[in-house]
Amino acid sequence: MSANDKPLIAIAGATSKQGRSVASTLLRSGRFRVRALTRKKDSPEALNLEKLGAEIVTVPLQLGFQKDVVAAFEGADGAFLMTPPIIPPETTEAPIGRQLADAAVEAGVGHIVFSTLENVDAISGGTKFAPHFTDKARVADHIRGLPISHSFVILAFFYTNLLEYYLPRMEGDTLLLPIYLPEDFRAPFVDPLTATGPAVLEIFSNPERYNGRTLPIVGDVISPREMVETFREVTGLKAEYRNAFTRGGLLQYFPEFAANELFVQELLGMVEYAVQYGYFGKEHDLEWSRRLNPDTLDWKQYLRTTGWRGDKRSFGLQEKREAVLSGIT
Ligand SMILES: NC(=O)c1ccc[n+]([C@@H]2O[C@H](COP(=O)([O-])OP(=O)(O)OC[C@H]3O[C@@H](n4cnc5c(N)ncnc54)[C@H](OP(=O)(O)O)[C@@H]3O)[C@@H](O)[C@H]2O)c1
């Protein structure tokens, strides 16, 4: 097969944690070409993808760029679609997702994979506020009505949340880990950087098998108590859990969040939803991605692989989040 005979997959959000994983896995498989959509052609992440063989196209994931997205999707056999982190009061996530899906239809893309989450609004009867979940589910509903072959992935909570957002702090000789979930609540977690790609490679390799299906991507199901115990065991450091799941706990450890009340409500709504209803609907096969890829990292393997010892790690978009939280944007 010559390089040009390989199916071409366009990736929206290609420099994101999920997107990078998809792009690099598809390229390394040697079975696909990749077109990477980004706002910044010269960011380290985009340059890395280019080095791996991706074609880089400059398009923002923003409303009003339908034509540019259609042009970026022209000739693609498949597209991986995701919405960027949108922090309230911004409400553009669902329209951005619909714009991406509509563009894929208009460009004649063969199969799309959209990264979705559960419809918290519908499941909780409107009692829990988590628009970054519900908006993705609304995009998925929109996609189900489009004349295009499609699949969905649902990623568990990211381990990276603890490394880039809910940062530990030292008190005396002990590292305190403020975690956004109750200490004994077992929740699904995953490393988006290593787990997304293999799952999406499988889907684009067998689009008929996965047409219409929703596939969860999970690395571990683990409670904060177990996460902290494992952290102590792997790092040898003294560490303790701290509550960052109630309003008081969250704002004690992250007082800067108070600048954005809607964001606080969203974080609390998401956790209350997960605790009360479960992060994933009961219909999902939570073992699917781990059966497919036995190398999927559980929390212990994640700590060993990354060597994380409580330090702050940045995966790309920290500045934007900090700007939003401090009311700059
Ligand atoms: N954190 C979790 O536990 C979790 C779990 C499940 C799902 N999710 C969802 O995952 C999504 C984020 O994925 P991720 O963490 O892989 O992404 P990420 O690493 O935060 O990166 C987001 C990417 O979006 C691109 N982008 C394009 N237009 C943007 C815009 N207007 N604003 C911000 N970014 C823009 C950026 O690429 P360029 O700069 O190159 O354009 C950036 O690389 C969110 O929708 C979130 O709700 C998160």
Helix (H), strand (E), coil (C) string for 110-158: CEEEEEECCCHHHHCCCCCCCHHHHHHHHHHHHHHCCCCEEEEEEECEE
Residue to mutate (ligand 1; options 317, 319, 324; most atoms within 8 A of CB): 317
Measured at the CA of 280, the angle between CA 260 and CA 134, to 5 degrees, comes to: 40
**Ligand 1 site residues, Cβ closer than 6 angstroms:** 13, 15-18, 38-40, 43, 46, 60-62, 82-85, 117, 132, 155, 157-158, 161, 192, 315-317, 320
Domain 3-325 has CATH 1.10.357.10: no
Among residues 257, 256, 227, 230, which one has the least CA distance to residue 242? 227
pLDDT of residue 1: 59
Q: What is the CA radius of gyration of the chain?
A: 19
Q: Which residue has the least CA distance to atom 5 on ligand 1? A: 157
- pLDDT tens track for 2-36: 667 999 999 999 999 999 999 999 999 999 999 99
What confidence tier does 314 reach under pLDDT thresholds 50, 70, 90? confident
CA distances to 57, 164, 320 from 177, rounded to whole Å, are 39, 12, 23
CA distances to 43, 102, 124, 198 from 5, rounded to whole Å, are 29, 26, 47, 21
How far, in Å, CA of 153 to CA of 92, rounded? 21
**Ligand 1 center from residue 43 Cα (angstroms):** 15
Backbone angles phi, psi at 14, to 5 degrees: -65, -20
**Ligand 1 center from residue 61 Cα (angstroms):** 10
Which position has the token pair 């390394």?
28
How far, in Å, CA of 239 to CA of 178, rounded? 11
**Ligand 1 center from residue 82 Cα (angstroms):** 8
What confidence tier does 317 reach under pLDDT thresholds 50, 70, 90? low
pLDDT of residue 4: 78
Domain boundaries, the chain: 3-325
- pLDDT tens track for 172-230: 999 999 999 999 999 999 999 999 999 999 999 999 999 999 999 999 999 999 999 99
pLDDT of residue 327 exceeding 80, the answer is no
pLDDT of residue 278: 98
Measured at the CA of 158, the angle between CA 89 and CA 230, to 5 degrees, comes to: 135
- pLDDT tens track for 277-308: 999 999 999 999 999 999 999 999 999 999 99
- pLDDT tens track for 34-75: 999 999 999 999 999 999 999 999 999 999 999 999 999 999
Count of Cβ atoms closer than 10 Å to residue 182 Cβ: 18
Whole-model pTM: value is 0.95
Residue to mutate (ligand 1; options 16, 62, 117; most atoms within 8 A of CB): 16
Show the tokens assigned to 300.
Answer: 């212990």
- pLDDT tens track for 78-114: 999 999 999 999 999 999 999 999 999 999 999 999 9
pLDDT of residue 326: 42
Among residues 200, 214, 188, which one has the least CA distance to residue 19? 200
CA distances to 11, 130, 206, 327 from 7, rounded to whole Å, are 13, 36, 12, 43
Averaged pLDDT for residues 256-261: 96
Residue to mutate (ligand 1; options 21, 35, 39, 324; most atoms within 8 A of CB): 39
* DSSP assignment letter at 61: S
| Average pLDDT of the residues of the chain | 95
pLDDT of residue 315: 85
Show the tokens assigned to 13.
Answer: 């959000």
- Looking from the CA of 80 toward its CB, the CA atoms found within 13 Å total 37
**Ligand 1 center from residue 85 Cα (angstroms):** 5
